[in-house]
Amino acid sequence: MTDHDHHHDHQHDHSELSETDLRVRALESILTEKGYIDPAALDVLIETYESKVGPRNGARVVARAWTDPAFRARLLADATPAIGELGYAGRQGEHIVAVENTPELHNMVVCTLCSCYPWPVLGLPPVWYKSAPYRAKAVKDPRGVLKDFGFELSPATKIRVWDSTAEIRYFVLPMRPEGTDGWSEAELAELVTRDSMIGTGLPKQPAKVTG
């Protein structure tokens, strides 16, 4: 029995994705040459959507699930409408499945063939998520990936790798940190990291926020 499961069911239109990517790059080059955009400013904008704006939506979803058992049940049963209750919906979020971390099971998300990602709750995918090394290693050696990201799980904790597809995006509901009883939803949201919702990280610990 392996220490991780791999769920894989891709139906991607790679030619369309590749063509779109090429068009975006061509447009960016033309606009840069004509002086309409500053590449540095564009990088800042992309970084903002990768790590700040988008993930804040997901953090609110997680914090609500941590504080509202009924919402958590709806999220795990059918994530898309539950997430929609908080106003987050749209392209790349038509069918989101939430998977919950427990002491016995840790979930991690990858897209082995391209970069499918739940934009409404996580924003744009980070560069490493789209990289071939991550996509390959996440399936073959998920524990090694977690070490690369700076943490290790108990050997007794099973790892399940979920492979996003053009139809389904996965969203990890991390475990609520201990010592947060009585915290408000807004306070809890500050503990939620983008990587914890992908499964390559953990939420911040209270001491790192309040200390």
| Residue 15 bears catalytic tag | no
- 203 vs 106: CA distance, rounded Å: 13
| Catalytic entry in 115, 131, 154, 164 | 115
| Catalytic entry in 29, 51, 114, 164 | 114
Q: What is the pLDDT of residue 35?
A: 72
| Residue 51 bears catalytic tag | no
Q: Is it the case that residue 18 has pLDDT exceeding 90?
A: no
- 40 vs 23: CA distance, rounded Å: 20
> Which sequence spans correspond to the domains of the chain?
14-210
| Catalytic entry in 18, 116, 131, 164 | 116
Phi/psi at 47 (5° precision): -60, -40
Q: Please state, for a pLDDT cut of 70, what percent of the chain lies above it.
A: 74
pLDDT in tens, 38-47: 666 656 555 5
Tell which residue, 196, 45, 10, 197, has the closest CA to residue 115: 10
Average pLDDT over residues 63-79: 98
pTM of the entire structure? 0.76
Assigned superfamily of 14-210: Nitrile hydratase alpha /Thiocyanate hydrolase gamma (3.90.330.10)
| Catalytic entry in 15, 18, 51, 111 | 111
Residues 6+ apart with CB under 8 A from 143: 3, 4, 152, 153, 159
The number of angstroms, rounded, from the C-alpha of 32 to the middle of its chain's C-alpha atoms is 30
